[in-house]
Structure 1
Amino acid sequence: MEPESDDIMETPRPLVALAAEYFSGEILDFHNHSRAQLLYASLGVMTVETHKGIWVVPPFRAVWVPPRLNHKVIVSNHISMRSLYFRPEFCSNTPEDCCVVSVSPLFKELILAASKMPRLYPLNGPEERLIAVLIDHIQQMDITPLNLPIPKDPRLKAIYGHLDENPGDKRTLEEWGREIGLTRRTLTRLFLSETAMTFGQWKQQIRILKSLTLLAEKEQVTTVAMEMGYDNPSAFIAVFKRALGKTPSKYFSDE
């Protein structure tokens, strides 16, 4: 995967939209754009990483990336990607940081329609009116909690590295403290300082984000629950619904 060229960013239109297919394991390394970007995957799951953390983007959601923010895109499985690039002056009321947003049926159709338009779409016609409606939509995006702060402290990063590979690990904060040579109190303070979350909240968020990728690959809920360290599917479903407002099956339905 290669970043989009500068000539695309310099197109004399408020918005430029591109469509592309990517496959499991593809990575677009750290880069940034002069325009704000909305990345939408109508199929599959992708992860966006910045210096602050990671954002997991399942189907029917999109990720907002502000202008000049260095970010990396990791493809978990085959995705049909739509990339929309907005000139900064049309994004005055949009989030200042990376975030995952909900995509309503209307928002989805606007994104898909824009991605089929030529870069130099005609002005003063239906294409320009469609873009105006799309710009209105990005001013009112609903943010969803699909991000994970990545700690900078090397001791906490070691814990993150392990849980990223083994999200079902059930070690407590005390057990981790003994392993890395810190008291429970110090470790608690470090997690709050570096992630603004307790260890329990942070570990649960890792599990939620990891489960999204597996569920998008059509893994059974029971299998995902066991892999995430839950004693039974009901416990996992309850945590998932409490975190995201819907059960896994409802979350992945085409709303």
Structure 2
Amino acid sequence: MNASWRSFDPDRNTRPAIALRVDVSDNDNEAPVHQHRKGQLVLALRGGVVCEVPNARWMVPPNCAVWVPGDLPHSNRVTPNARICLLFLEPGAAALPQTCCTLAISPLVRELILHLAGQPHDYAPDSRSARLVQVLLETLPDMPVERLHLPISSEARIRRIADALTANPADRSTLPEWARRVAMSERSLARLMLRETGLSFGRWRQQLQLLVALRHLAAGATVQQVSAELGYESVTAFITMFKKALGQPPAKYLAALTRAQQA
């Protein structure tokens, strides 16, 4: 079923799992903060998705998905003209984590979700769809977790820095400069950042830039364009950062996702 993701209410249905395929237009690329009883898996088929929950932002490149447990407030934002699939699960239907995470999705699981998205949501309990749902629910917990999230905070100063760097990821202001902007000492800001996010300022900013890079790359930007967008002095420096974080340079990382998507 293909419908507007912003008007769909998954809690009207009590099946163990239902799915919705969404082709996102330029003017329908954000679902504001909301919550529902069902857990939600947001699968990116084309383009990228940023999901924000309290104290964290999660990036979903193609062929990955973010898991949002039920009753957790969240918002979703996608790259223009993305294609996504939303899988809604009844509480306890699958042995998935109680916290958000990004999962690498296998071709089998992706095809099961896509098949379910094409079926009526009121499928019979003894139907073929119901049997395939059981396979899906048993297989989902085996999907590996990817490190594609940014810890943030409701603390006003951390939120201010996160919003500013998201809007201008090329900003290379140092920790002392940021401390002056938020009216703190350098040492106090360093302690606050570590306490609120679990990361040093430098590691936290690098993770933010990684998520911004993935979002732009998923939208079709070149490595050179993304490197410039993030303010790197050279493409090589950006590639080095990316490879250190994700184990592969950008081109190979995205190529691997594409191959998996086409498998």
Same fold (TM over 0.5): yes
Cα RMSD between the aligned structures?
Answer: 1.7
The correspondence for 1:217, drawn from 216, 219, 224, is: 219
**Deviation string, structure 1 residues 3-57 (Cα, Å, up to 9, x no partner):** 422xx42434211111121123522111111111111121111211112221121
Match for residue 253 of structure 2?
A: 251
Q: 1:177 touches 1:187 (CA, 8 Å); kept in 2? A: yes
How far 1:64 sits from its partner (Å)?
A: 0.6
Matching of residues 176-255 of structure 1 within 5 Å: 176-253=178-255, 254=258, 255=260
* CA distance, structure 1, for counterparts of residue 26 and residue 191 of structure 2: 37
* CA distance, structure 1, for counterparts of residue 219 and residue 88 of structure 2: 28
Report the TM-score when normalising by structure 1: 0.92
* CA distance, structure 1, for counterparts of residue 184 and residue 49 of structure 2: 35
Match for residue 70 of structure 2?
A: 67
How far 1:239 sits from its partner (Å)?
A: 1.2
Please list every run of 5 or more consecutive structure 2 residues that lacks an aligned counterpart in the other structure.
none
Q: 1:66 touches 1:98 (CA, 8 Å); kept in 2? A: yes
Residue correspondences, number: 252
**Deviation string, structure 1 residues 112-134 (Cα, Å, up to 9, x no partner):** 11111221224434322211111
* CA distance, structure 1, for counterparts of residue 201 and residue 66 of structure 2: 25
Q: Which amino acid aligns with 1:56?
A: M
**Deviation string, structure 1 residues 139-187 (Cα, Å, up to 9, x no partner):** 2232111111223332232222221111111121122223333222111
Please list every run of 5 or more consecutive structure 1 residues that lacks an aligned counterpart in the other structure.
none
- State, as a whole percentage, how many aligned pairs show the same letter: 35
**Deviation string, structure 1 residues 46-79 (Cα, Å, up to 9, x no partner):** 2111122211211111111101111111122212
Partner SS, residue 20 of structure 2 = strand
* CA distance, structure 2, for counterparts of residue 220 and residue 11 of structure 1: 42
